[in-house]
Copies of this chain bind each other. A is one copy, B any other.
Amino acid sequence: MDFTAVFSKGGSRLTSSKIRELMQLAADPEIISMAGGMPDASNFPYQEIREIEDGWSDSERAAAYQYGPTGGYPPLVEQIAAYEAASGINTTGQQVLPTSGAQQAIQLVTRVFCDPGDTILVEVPTFIGAVAVFIGYGAIPAGVELDGDGIIPEALDERIAKLTAAGRKPKFLYTNPTFQNPGGMTLSQSRRDRVLEICARHGLPIIEDDPYHDLYFEGKHEDYRSIKARDTDNLVIRLGTFSKILSPGIRLGWMLGAPEVVGRCETAKQGEDACSSSYSQVLAAGYLKRGFVEPYTARMRKIYGEKCRLTLQRLASEMPDGISWTTPAGGFFTWVTLPEGADSEKLFLAAIGKKVAFVTGAPFHVDGRGGNKLRLAFSNSSHEQIRTGIARLARAAREILS
């Protein structure tokens, strides 16, 4: 039968993105992929996982393979709250909801806040995976300007005021404050207070998506204190994930915030997958309880930091003049700027020919800019792959710029 006539308006909005089409070209196993934001698979905490599984009581093992409550495996909910409290967040009166990755948390809040035509405020550039959700639910992302210290408070204030005056008051601000994906910039601590003050004044909830929080190469944990830790108006819904501190394959994240929001997301989640993987939840509860996060992230900070420094060093040695890149203080990416007018999609096609892949910059921008930008992930490449990959990229760059 012909289904296209019976698809919903929502269903018709769901079309494959340009970036997914480009990524099809990168499937060749000989290609060195610096595209996806994947953690280092050669360094997952396999030993810790085995130790937790071997330590399971009969009832924990049964819980790991049985259905669980939509609201989460209770010991995990407790451990997440304790983990967040240890970072200075006041979890009293807040609800924690485990989700199937932070991706599901983004989707749940979108569904709960947005009808088609509603506006959402996002950073320029911002995480592609969030924009795809917003557009999939018919919401319209509006951009707010960043600089090296993250969101520019004056630009934020003005943008909210203008959109509100135009009858398009945003439903929330979506922000990736720490080692931003893709730009790598971090919202400075003083600006976090300003952003909170501005959003409180306008009555705008903040979705703080903070996956790279523990993966700093410089400073210490306190230097990256969450926006939620300063939130006295209960404005912030904080999203966390096990993808970067344990494993992304277990698909487990969480949201933490006002129970009237998180509880409604829990009701939506009931219909979406009934509960997140019980195996993942029982595993993650054990991982937090045994205190594995800090030693594992300490190890990974060193590993990612070394990969980052090597990437920056190879870029400096190999890339032709006129190309610049960020020096990230944490996370998985460096954000590269080609000369004005150069096209990173053209570079992508040349790079694929030389067997190296990255992600083009335009899809991260909701305002049509970013055509000369690209995101380079160093997280899941070996040192050898970084060396070879950047040499190939530099050859492709010389080719398209000459």
Contact = CB atoms under 8 A, between A and B. Distances in A.
Interface of A: 1, 3-4, 6-11, 14-16, 20, 36, 38-39, 41-42, 44, 46, 49, 61-68, 100-101, 103-104, 106-107, 111-115, 118, 129, 132-133, 136, 171-172, 200, 203, 205, 233-235, 243, 247-251, 258, 260-261, 264, 267-268, 270-280
A274 B251 contact: yes
A274 B129 contact: yes
Given A270-B132, A273-B251, A234 B114 contact: no
Contact of A278 (B49, B63, B132, B249): B249
A273 B205 contact: no
9 contacts: A6-B205, A8-B115, A14-B267, A41-B62, A41-B65, A103-B273, A103-B274, A129-B270, A273-B273
B273 A10 contact: no
B42 A101 contact: no
Given A3-B261, A249-B277, A249-B278, A271 B103 contact: yes
A274 B107 CA distance: 11
Given A103-B274, A136-B268, A279-B279, A67 B46 contact: no
Contacts of A10: 111-112, 114-115
A322 to B, nearest CB: 34
Contacts of A258: 1, 3
A112 B14 contact: yes
Contacts of A272: 100, 103-104, 107, 133, 272
A66 B247 CA distance: 6
Nearest 8 pairs of A and B residues by beta carbon: A249-B278, A11-B112, A65-B247, A133-B271, A65-B249, A100-B273, A41-B62, A14-B267
Contacts of A103: 271-274
A9 B264 CA distance: 12
A166 to B, nearest CB: 17
Nearest to A118: B8
A3 B263 CA distance: 12
Contacts of A8: 111-115, 118, 171
A6 B113 contact: yes
B67 A273 contact: no
Max count, chain B CB within 10 A of own CB: residue among A6, A20, A101 = A6
Contacts of A275: 251
B38 A67 contact: yes
A263 to B, nearest CB: 8
B249 A66 contact: yes
Given A111-B10, A115-B9, A279-B279, A271 B129 contact: yes
Given A11-B112, A14-B112, 11 more contacts: A4-B260, A7-B113, A9-B115, A10-B112, A16-B267, A44-B65, A100-B251, A103-B274, A132-B271, A249-B278, A279-B280
Nearest to A10: B111
B66 A39 contact: yes
A276 to B, nearest CB: 7
B66 A112 contact: no
Contacts of A44: 62, 65-66
Contacts of A36: 67
A203 to B, nearest CB: 6
B235 A251 contact: no
Contacts of A41: 62, 65-66
A11 B111 contact: yes
A73 to B, nearest CB: 10
A145 B243 CA distance: 47
Contacts of A14: 112, 264, 267-268
